[in-house]
Amino acid sequence: MVSRFEHPAGGYKKIFETCEELSEPLPTTVTGRIPSFLKGSLLRLGPGLFEIGDEPFYHLFDGQALMHKFDFKNGQVTYFRKFIRTDAYVRAITEKRVVITEFGTFAYPDPCKNIFSRFFSYFKGVEVTDNCLVNVYPVGEDFYAVTETNYITKVNTDTLETLKKVDMCNYVNINGVTAHPHIERDGTVYNIGNCMGKGATLAYNIVRIPPTQKDKSDPIEKSKVVVQFPSAERFKPSYVHSFGMSDNYFVFVETPVKINLLKFLSAWSIRGSNYMDCFESNENQGTLFHIARKNPGEYIDHKFKGAGIGMFHHINTYEDQGFIVVDLCAWKGFEFVYNYLWLANLRANWEEVKKAAMMAPQPEVRRYVIPTDVHKEEQGKNLISLPYTTATAVMHADGTIWLEPEVLFSGPRQAFEFPQINYRKYGGKNYSYTYGLGLNHFIPDRICKLNVKTKETWVWQEPESYPSEPLFVQTPDGVDEDDGVLLTIVAAPGSQRPAYLLILNAKDLSEIARAEVECSIPVTFHGMYKP
């Protein structure tokens, strides 16, 4: 699953360049045959505007949200894209400057305002960004583009028009929610975010949004907190990007990467501060694994602990014989990986990109196993009895249960990231396959498949081609877990047609078809296939 290519030509720099939106869908040039069961749309989100006037955005997560759509119809494919009309975008375009502070870019006060009005704007509190560049998911019959703040943005997935901004704080006690909810077959949505808990200490809430309502009311208005996880530190929540969910449990991994809330609250009065300045690492904490029952929501107070990791994406979580199996994409150590995702780093020449990546945390696909039935007298022995894993859980004298993972994939500076599975059938269930985007020193240059049971791997890769997260779509009459296709958008900056939608056979990653477009497409993070 390791990359076979070097990238000295630096074509990857093109995926971090501003592009124009389209006024109407473009036709594509199809080679191969588009499977007849693909009849819907592939929706993707990422940054599309990397500077405003002469003011640049500095971090990968700062560029303004651009929504992409490939539509499938009768074996033909069209491509369309539009900027989402967030407050961050509209005000920036109107004022021709960065108006709302983004993840790694500070918005300077309006130079035209006098000193008093600038002074007062500091005390009005923070304008939190609504730049929803990370993912899109369904809630009831609606679709929302999202980032990790309290704002989500309702979009029309046919026209890509922006409908309205929704503040989740109006419905539940939450400071923000992740861009990685879990969605059950009936449409119930679960998500997690940090919140103010009991006695003015921080905590993390799991929020449940019900499925489509019979009376056609908005499901978001019926959002409820299901269960609360405690925070290891009173004023410093861990950064949380996703969580695990099986049939009966939630799993929350509390990493040593912290948000210093006091710094966060004061940062907005310090000239030049942004979100990135508020992260720090607690080198002593390690990683805490929390579990809670799902229904009714109940926190289970066992102390599961492991060595420090950074973690963004869970792959899958399932139960087996009294154990919870948690597969995730880990980064070893306690340093924040986002420190390596400044655009200046990613746009550097290949030798520089490699040099920077040598310093970064190392990626690894890991399996942790958590016993649900724990007894004090079992000190010192491995509590895991599943025959197929080398992961261990050992009770220490202080009652802490120390977790050691099984490594499912490891390659130096070669990440298996942006993982996807056959989620509809195998989300929360015992499964075999995961698909991912291969990062080579942080540059996305291959599509990978991993058998988590045998550790067998498959790779799709072409020179000077930069793919994105692969989404799995099952063949309607498919029997096997991997009967289906993968959809990914590939940037091929040197080609006559600089980007294409690629359709791979999920069994062996062989190419089925591609639909090439005449324009370049920048980096995208996450998305969905809408049938």
φ, ψ at 291 (rounded to 5°):
-125, 150
* Contacts made by residues 495-501, CB under 8 angstroms, sequence distance 24+: 497/29, 498/14, 500/28, 501/28, 501/42, 501/70, 501/77, 501/79
401 near 378, Cβ under 8 Å? no
List, in sequence order, every beta strand (DSSP E) within 231-378. 244-245, 249-254, 257-259, 279-281, 287-293, 298-306, 309-320, 323-332, 363-371
- The answer to whether 526 is a known ligand-binding residue is yes
How far apart are alpha carbons 252 and 399 in whole angstroms?
Answer: 19
Residue 519: DSSP 8-state: S
Cβ-count burial of 325 within 10 angstroms (0-12 exposed, 13-18 middle, 19+ buried)?
buried
Which DSSP state fits 416?
E
Coil, strand or helix: which one is 71?
strand
As a whole number of angstroms, the longest Cα–Cα distance in the chain is: 70
Say how far apart CA 492 and CA 468 lie, in whole Å.
12
DSSP, res 382:
B
- Does the annotation place 180 within a ligand binding site? yes
DSSP string, 141-189: TEEEEE-SSSEEEEE-TTT--EEEEEEGGGTSS-S---S--EE-TT--E
Q: According to the annotation, is 241 in a ligand binding site?
A: yes
Please state the residue numbers annotated as binding site for Fe cation.
180, 241, 313, 526
Please state the residue numbers annotated as binding site.
180, 241, 313, 526
